[in-house]
Amino acid sequence: MGNSRTKGEAADFIMEEHNGSAESSLLSPGRHVAIKCGWLRKQGGFVKTWHTRWFVLKGEQLYYFKDEDEAKPLGTIFLPGNRVIEHPSSDENPGKFLFEVIPGLGS
* Residue numbers of the domain that contains 54: 34-82
Q: What is the pLDDT of residue 97?
A: 72
Q: What angle do CA 60, 100, 89 make, to 5 degrees?
A: 125
7 located within any domain: no
pLDDT of res. 23? 40
Cis peptide, bond prior to residue 29, ω within 30 of zero: yes
pLDDT of the chain, 107 residues: tens digit per residue: 445 444 445 566 555 444 444 344 344 445 567 888 889 988 888 888 999 999 998 888 899 999 999 999 999 988 888 887 878 777 877 767 777 888 886 54
Residue 90 forms part of a structural domain: no
* pLDDT score, position 6: 43
CATH of residue 78's domain is 2.30.29.30
Q: Residues with Cβ < 8 Å from 61, sequence gap 6 or more?
A: 30, 76, 77, 78, 79
Is 66 contained in some domain? yes
Give the total number of structural domains in the chain. 1
